[in-house]
Chains A and B, each alone.
Chain A
Amino acid sequence: MLSPKEFMHTSRLNENWIGFKTIVIKETMRIARIWIQTLVPPVIQMTLYFLIFGAFIGSRVGKMGGYSYMEFLAPGLIMMSVINNSYANVVSSFFGARFARHVEELQVSPMPNSLIILGFVVGGVIRGLAVGILVAAVALLFTHLHIAHPLITLSVVILTAVVFALGGFINAVFAKNFDDVTIIPTFVLTPLTYLGGVFYSISLLPHLWANVSKVNPILYMVNAFRYGILGVSDIGIGVAYGIIVLFIVVLFAVCEWLMYKGVGLRS
């Protein structure tokens, strides 16, 4: 038998769980409702990458890391679409909620800040994974994907989506208009992704640039994912996990602090 205090605590946990599920369901429904904006464009974009870089140019590139260029490229493109879409989902959804002020529905509710953040993050992860699966399906039209380490593949893709969903949340908190929502993806995310080993192995780079590349966190995520699928990587898998988890902890703490202070939310 629960004491009144324990009962209150259990009841509060249950209520929070319902609130969290509500955000996740709402975010998922949003992704499904505007699928033409959320799911189709990345699939078309990645199909073009596979066609141009994989099929047309890749056939002349030769082996990379012991695999055909198409096989090497596929994990990178899947990861790139996961990164972009988990970020884009949270930044557009949370900024949209701020802009139209329906974020106030959550602010006045008794939901803890951490669960509001997690609800949006899970929404971002869902879109990232959905797009990742669709891009993987496209990849299968061009090459075969043998997954060497399923658990590593799955954990890396989910954890990476969490990192960028948290990043999208922070961007959404600071954004003052719709231009601010696209600045980080255009000027930070895209260059880092392109230079993060999606299209090439850093072993091809001169020693100096290979070392410079190692300060790019996306390199570790792409390579860890590629290791999960192909079993080859430019970097140590343990280091990659460490960096991903560190980013999650730091970014989540920043999100919590922003929500606690009400930055961009409360005057």
Chain B
Amino acid sequence: MQALSIHGLTKTYGNGVVALKGIDFEVAQGEFTALLGPNGAGKTTTIGIVTSLVNKTSGTVKVFDYDIDTDIERAKSCIGLVPQEINFNQWEKPYDIVVNQAGYYGIPRALAKERAEKYLRQLQLWDKRHDVSRHLSGGMKRRLMIARALVHEPKLLMLDEPTAGVDIEIRRSMWEFLKKINKEGITIILTTHYLEEAENLCRRVAIIDHGEIILQGRTRDLLSKLRTETFVLNLRHPLGALPPFDGYAVTQVDDTTLEVEIDKSQNVNALFGLLSQNDIQVMSMRNKVNRLEELFVRLIEGKG
């Protein structure tokens, strides 16, 4: 079954801005999918339409086969939303925010309290449950929105840049948590600017730009479309003049750093052969940028 099925979705805002130009986008149940795109590409509009925060202009949206035009209440029951901006009452306490949200989904208060404890503990917020929310740190506020989105135990969790502005330690712990709940069966759709996040977490990726999905598929398959990759080599000894590397595009960044662009038809062993021939010892090697980032930039810049 498809957790989310979008067909021909368009959105033109009142000021004439065309945010979506008829996108088709499907997410199977149990998937972990990233929706990537530059600012203004249409990611948040798409999530807004699915979650009833934005009116669509045309097209169909189904959530677990419930059409948002004809079965909106059932569709909404299936979705948990973690928005991009903080949108809880910052004068309320985390515990009350989560319990009340459960109430809006028709969960009896006793069960709501149990669930609030469960998710606030899982997201390391239980000790803060009676603090005024505005006093929470940025990372805690993001985690509170995740706890709130999960309290009615949705089948589809949509996160709009959940780790924006969050430090790396908290980001990684959020990744682990998301992986865990995805393994437990929750379908996850995530928008992010951190392409490392998408590559680490998501089995599928869709790239949206100027209101159109320009590429979607399995992350692994998409990455294999990259024709070249750029590696950064850190050298043991300073290098004087750069020797010739036939067939490779090599750039000397400084005395001890080289950048090498390797085509898919080439292999790294041959490169290392050339390096050895020139008595160049390599201390370490890394990708210049995240591979998904490279693909993303090439697509957005139209380099293919």
Interfacial residues, chain A to chain B (CB-CB below 8 A): 12, 14-19, 21-23, 25-26, 29, 97, 100-102, 104-112, 262, 266-267
Complex CA gap A107/B81 in Å reads 11
Q: Which residues of B contact A100 (CB under 8 A)?
A: 87, 89-90
Closest CB in chain B relative to A7 CB, distance in Å: 14
Cβ contact within 8 Å between A105 and B104:
yes
Cβ contact within 8 Å between A101 and B87:
yes
Which residue on chain A has the smallest CB distance to residue B148? Answer: A105
A contact patch SS: helix
Query: Which of B20-28, B50-58, B191-199, B251-259 has 4 or more CB atoms under 8 Å from chain A?
Result: B50-58
Cβ contact within 8 Å between B52 and A18:
no
Closest CB in chain B relative to A36 CB, distance in Å: 14
Q: Which of B53, B79, B109, B148 has the most chain A CB atoms inside 10 A of its CB?
A: B53
Closest CB in chain B relative to A178 CB, distance in Å: 16
Complex CA gap A254/B85 in Å reads 30
A-B pairs with beta carbons under 8 Å apart, 15 shown? A12-B106, A15-B105, A15-B107, A19-B103, A19-B106, A22-B104, A101-B86, A101-B87, A105-B101, A105-B104, A107-B51, A110-B74, A110-B106, A266-B55, A267-B55
Q: Which residues of B contact A267 (CB under 8 A)?
A: 13-14, 48, 54-55
Cβ contact within 8 Å between A112 and B73:
yes
A21 interface neighbour in B76, B85, B103, Cβ under 8 Å: B103
Q: Quick check: is B182 within 8 A (CB to CB) of the other chain?
A: no
Which residue on chain A has the smallest CB distance to residue B15? Answer: A267
Complex CA gap A26/B101 in Å reads 11
Task: With A101-B87, A110-B73, A110-B76 as known contacts, state yes or no: A18 contacts B103, CB within 8 Å.
Answer: yes
Task: With A18-B108, A97-B89, A100-B87 as known contacts, state yes or no: A108 contacts B103, CB within 8 Å.
Answer: no
Q: Quick check: is B100 within 8 A (CB to CB) of the other chain?
A: yes
Q: Quick check: is B139 within 8 A (CB to CB) of the other chain?
A: no
Q: Quick check: is B126 within 8 A (CB to CB) of the other chain?
A: no
Complex CA gap A195/B109 in Å reads 46
Cβ contact within 8 Å between B107 and A104:
no
Complex CA gap A210/B204 in Å reads 73
Task: With A100-B89, A266-B53, A266-B55 as known contacts, state yes or no: A106 contacts B104, CB within 8 Å.
Answer: yes
Cβ contact within 8 Å between A110 and B105:
yes
A109 interface neighbour in B14, B55, B88, B105, Cβ under 8 Å: B105
